[in-house]
Structure 1
Amino acid sequence: MNNQNEVITASGLEMRFPGCDVLKGVEMNVRSGSVFALLGENGAGKTTMIRILTGFLKPTAGSVRVCGLDPIRDSLEIRRRIGYVSDAPAMYDWMTVGEIGWFTASFYSHGFVERYRELVTGYEIPENRKMKVLSRGQRAKVALSLALAHDPELLILDEPTSGLDPLVRREFLESMVDRASAGRTVFLSSHQISEVERVADTVAIMHDGKFHLCGELADLKDSISEVTINLDDPLVSLPALPSPAIVLSEETEGRQRRMIARGFTREMQDAIAARRGVNGVRARAASLEELFVACTRGIAALRPQPQDSQAPAAEVSELSL
């Protein structure tokens, strides 16, 4: 049964096309009143995931619930209860800003037009202006106004700030935080790491159709470290980190060895520093960008941790330093 605090749940989600496996057993839980950011490269499977959530694609395997509903059986009801903004919103260019609001209102309950007019007025977009003459930023604001006018339980944004100027992007980010503060939920798909870091409560890093990392952003940044080891001899052998520590990525450059590790402790740092041939060990909290690179370019996968109920099972190679 779907937890009332979870707006989206997915289990064992797979999507296969001829010659291509896009999603490979995705597990996901998005809680109410949060900003959930799906971070991944272009082609990682983010848009496919959104098309499944909105009922436009039927998954090959697995189950998914959105607002407690089945996206295939209840697709129309889901679309009434959510808002959606893509990176390139498709709108009728021959309509005015006001006309497209009246047109869209026919799909929703009473009060849509009034709320829509308040939103576009707040964005300083004249209602009598044709859609075809609007700038990309203005079109994005109209699309966001249309998505928010019925006060959706869930707002889904698919690369919404792509190509927008910094001021418009900032307004979008502020609106996401405001939505979450009001108890609504935002599902943001993006490859803009700096934007995600500013607004997200929870982050999932997708690569090659899988979640390689998923959890509260603050917890992930606290538990994952960048470790730099200076060696007297670049060929010196060091043991693998003890469990439950996990190496996400590792590289050697001359006499310096650098890794991104989860669960790295002060005791581990002291033990490495005490070994013969090591002349210094430094550790600091890893940035979201470093986590992203480790998951998408690193040589180790993330082992699921007991405290990370959102993280899917994954195979991990034990790596020696």
Structure 2
Amino acid sequence: MSDPIYMHRYSLQSKSLLNSQSKRRSFDGILLRIGDGVGCVHPWVELGDPSVDQLIASLQIEDFRSPLLRNAMHCAQIDAEARNKGVSLFDGLSVPESHATITVGEEQVEAAVRQGFKVVKLKLGPNIDLEMLEMLHARHPNLRWRFDFNQSLDEAKLLAFLLSLSASLVEQIDFVEDPCDRRVDMKKCSVPIAIDKGVEMCDSSYQYAVVKPAVDDVTQVCERAQSLGLKGVFTSYMDHPVGQSYAAWMAGTANALYSQLEMVECGLMTQGLFEENAFIEALGPIGPKWNAADGVGLGFDSLLDELDWKRVK
């Protein structure tokens, strides 16, 4: 590699627990700077990713096999190209709108409605407040729902959950994502299922493909989803705003490249899950429409210059 790699370690503090597999509230990652470009590495060890320290060790020996590293380096490459041209990566790019990503309940849903979201993705665990769901549905009957269980249910509990919901609420469910640690019998399930791992090898029994540019080979995932007629849902990795911005750029780029892939509301607006910092503030108000940070490339120009960068090797 011709350009040296520099890094900045960061920590994000979540406002609440972020999924059923994690009990922590502090999330560490690194920003990489290669030449004039930056990328984000934000591992989720609960989901099988290497730790920050392991990834730094891989960088030091130039072992770039981790998808997190490869995609962060791709991000830095395209960011550098745009910065050297003095243009924003979002100039003329149409980024699909997003759903609201919510981890707790009533107050967050009400806030999302006020912010203009028409679709809510609620991250749930095995203990589901059915009364709250039905109350919110009665209050907002046109609000659409996506339920993400992070493999916290078995098939019997999933089917029991769906059978317990009113018919009108079931009609408003776009999909259930990642409900179990094994495949669900689609014939028994009354709603579509979204696949968020292994899309490259899936079949047409799914209806939605979740695309995570932080860890996925986006070309392979989009080509497979397009060939099967799945709908595409680009999401951030619940990571740093730099990583969010890369996911948004990839979503807009894929939206232009894959004309036969139906792109539906993304999951890009995840900065509200964390306590505010200068980078989060640079993305502007939270709502369904993507707001790029000011500046060239991915933006954040002065904020990036102010960070403490250390050479990896």
Q: Which is strand-richer, 1 or 2?
A: 1
Structure-2-length-normalised TM-score:
0.29
Task: Give the structure with higher Rg (CA).
Answer: 1
TM-score, with normalisation over the residues of structure 1? 0.29
